[in-house]
Amino acid sequence: MSDVAVIGAGYVGLTTAVCLAHLGHDVVCADIDAERVERLNKGEVPILEEGLPELLAEGLSSRRLRFVLGAKNAASISSFVFLCVPTPQGDDGSADLSYVDAVAREIASVLRPGTVVINKSTMPVGSTRMVQRVLAESGAPPEEVLVASNPEFLREGTSIRDFLEPNRVVIGCTDTSVAVRVSDLYKNLNAPILVTDPASAEMIKYASNAFLATKISFVNAIANLCEAVDADVREVTLGMGYDQRIGFEFLHPGPGYGGSCFPKDTQALLYAARTAGCDFSLLEGVVQVNQEQHERMVTKLTALVGGSLNGVTIACWGLTFKANTDDLRDSPALIIARRLIEEGAIVRAYDPAAGERAADMLPGLEFVADPYEVCAGAAALTVLTEWDEFRWMDFDRVAEMLESPVVLDTRNLLDPTALRRHGFTYEGVGRS
Ligand SMILES: NC(=O)c1ccc[n+]([C@@H]2O[C@H](COP(=O)([O-])OP(=O)(O)OC[C@H]3O[C@@H](n4cnc5c(N)ncnc54)[C@H](O)[C@@H]3O)[C@@H](O)[C@H]2O)c1
């Protein structure tokens, strides 16, 4: 027997599994990817996440953690089953729940009475009921298998810390005794636990992500206005952030938000609003500003290289959707690189974590394994991801490698004064 089954060994599932084992639970984590399962059982980490290798090693050596192939093999022996499978964007913008549906059908007949199935994947309002219905239809002991919502708020790159030191734990459940059992899993964490109804729990996750996306689009719109009126967005956000009602987090202008959550979750919330007959033009604006922001970076680069990208070599630093992760899903860097290629540019890119995978995802992109080599003969360099190592480069050497010392810093990562001293033409986002 194990306390906890985690279905899906991705960014959320793997983090959940190693952290719950670290908190003292017996955890069995399942995936459908046999190679991933085999590697994990050997202690090999398939994703880049700070602290994950150490907690994986700790879990395996304490025998509180193991990995199995197939959800059934984990769910049949556990008292709690966390669903951590993908919920990607469907064609109409809604969350595609087919992975959730498939797992629920697969595990229903092997669940033991009293098991709690926990929706940790991001799922729209109504999903707790939906999973309960699918389980019942597929042979779960009626009335004896319960479903709770427990959305996850971790950020890639700091997922272990976010899981172990959360701002809050949200549990959505109609049955108080079940909610108490789920909250007991987190009892060693120093965090407020909010127990609410399933619909509210599901909405909390979408509302939180949509709000953060709104903050990013808002600051990007302010940055663009700063450029028009010759103000400096860095000064503006400093002045705003000191206001505790606003805060500094998510107040950094850039190439637009991306990643595996904000784009799909904002679309899913818009879909939910449309379906419910509610106007949410505010969020539509957020999404539109974001798409325009990607394109604005292409326009800036076009102007910097003299009006046309056709046949022009561009060097890119960074491809992941943000620093300290290897995740390329919906990365603004890849969206911008794709647009540069469409405009006829020859695009060469370096990223410390993405590796050759990026070139496989984007035909026409040349991956170069060295941040200086990637600049060789390029008409301009653009910083697309805020990896810290880019701050500390030898910019005299970078200038020598480039055909002309021109840089578009879409993350406002570099010091414009220092770069201009090195002879660069520097352009950031919203800087006077
Ligand atoms: N990545 C994040 O930062 C983050 C943060 C909060 C919430 N979420 C949400 O968590 C969910 C999972 O996201 P993720 O980034 O961890 O996804 P992921 O793609 O990294 O991992 C999903 C894993 O599930 C496995 N899987 C798919 N079908 C399976 C099945 N039938 N049985 C067993 N395993 C199966 C896949 O092989 C994969 O390893 C999504 O709903 C996402 O929106 C993600």
For residue range 348-392, list pLDDT tens digits in order: 999 999 988 888 899 999 999 999 999 999 999 999 999 999 999
Query: Could you tell me the two tokens for 92?
Result: 């109409």
Alpha helices in 262-323 (DSSP H): 262-275, 281-304
Q: Summarize pLDDT for 235-259 with one digit per residue, the tens.
A: 999 999 999 999 999 999 999 999 9
Active-site residue among 29, 84, 226, 261? 261
Task: Decide the pairing of beta strands 193-196 and 169-172.
Answer: parallel
Q: List Cα–Cα distances, 307 to 17, 199, 312, 364, 420, in angstroms.
A: 51, 51, 11, 21, 22
Q: Which residue has the tokens 């784009």?
A: 263
Q: How far apart are CA 190 and CA 297, in angstroms?
A: 42
HSE on the CB side for 84, CA within 13 Å? 26
Share of the chain above pLDDT 90, in %: 97
Which atom of ligand 1 sits closest to the CA of residue 265? 43
Count CB neighbours of 93 within 10 A. Answer: 16
Best of 35, 76, 85, 87 for a ligand 1 pocket test (most atoms within 8 Å of beta carbon)? 85
Which of the listed residues 174, 194, 214 is the one where a domain comes to its end?
194
pLDDT at 312: 98
139 and 260 share a domain?
no
225/116 same-domain check? no
* pLDDT for 185 beyond 70: yes
Q: What percent of the chain has pLDDT over 70?
A: 100
Closest CA to 102 of 144, 67, 130: 130
Residues 257, 180 within the same domain: no
Q: Is residue 28 domain-shared with residue 74, that is, in the same domain?
A: yes
- 78 and 89 both lie in a single domain: yes
Quick check: 305 and 340 in contact, CB under 8 A?
no
Q: What is the pTM of this model?
A: 0.97
Statement to judge: residues 177 and 211 lie in one domain = no
Neighbours of 84 (CB within 10 A): 26
- Say yes or no: 94 and 106 in one domain: yes
Residues 308 and 162 in one domain: no
Strand (E) or helix (H) holding 57: helix 52-62
Q: How far lies 280's CA from each of 195, 219, 273, 283, 399, in Å? A: 27, 19, 7, 6, 47
Radius of gyration of the chain (CA): 23
Mean pLDDT estimate for the chain: 97
- Give the domain-ending residue among 194, 209, 242: 194
**Final residue in a domain of this structure, among 146, 172, 194:** 194
Report the greatest alpha carbon distance in the chain.
72
Tokens standing for residue 102 = 């498939």
Token pair for residue 32? 């459908």
Based on the domain organization, do 123 and 240 belong to the same domain? no
**Residue 415's domain is classified under what CATH number?**
3.40.50.720
Q: Would you place residue 269 in the very low, low, confident or very high pLDDT band (cuts 50, 70, 90)? A: very high
pLDDT grade for 1, boundaries at 50, 70 and 90: low
Strand 346-350 vs strand 366-367: parallel, antiparallel, or unpaired? parallel
Mean pLDDT of 42-59: 97
Atom of ligand 1 nearest to the CA of 122: 41
Separation between Cα atoms, residue 135 and residue 116, nearest integer Å: 11
pLDDT band at 2 (very low <50, low <70, confident <90, very high): confident
Give catalytic status of residue 375 as yes or no: no
CB 302 within 8 A of CB 308: yes
> CA-to-CA distance for 390 and 371, rounded, in angstroms?
8
CA of 162 from ligand 1 middle (Å) equals 17
| pLDDT for the residue numbered 432 | 78
Do residues 131 and 250 share a domain? no
Distances (CA, A) of 145 to 132, 134, 187: 8, 11, 22
Q: What gap in Å lies between CA 81 and CA 90, rounded to an integer?
A: 25
226 & 153 share domain: no
Q: Give the pLDDT of residue 143.
A: 78
Spatial contact of 54 and 65, defined as CB atoms under 8 Å apart: no
CA distances 292 to 84, 207, 257, 258, Å, are 32, 22, 11, 13
Q: Are residues 310 and 420 in the same domain?
A: yes
Q: How far is the CA of 10 from the centre of ligand 1 (A)?
A: 5
Query: Encoding tokens for residue 48?
Result: 């880049």
Range of the domain at 80: 2-194
Helix (H, G, I), strand (E, B) or coil at 81: strand
State residue 356's pLDDT score. 80
What per-residue confidence (pLDDT) applies to 141? 85
**pLDDT beyond 80 at 273:** yes
Which pLDDT score is estimated for 425? 98
What total number of domains does the chain contain?
Answer: 2
Closest residue CA from atom 15 of ligand 1 = 11
For ligand 1, the distance from its centroid to the CA atom of residue 410, given in whole angstroms, is 29
Q: Provide the pLDDT for residue 300.
A: 98
Is residue 145 predicted with pLDDT exceeding 90? no
DSSP for 80-131? Answer: EEEE-----B-TTSSB--HHHHHHHHHHGGGPPTT-EEEE-S---TTHHHHH
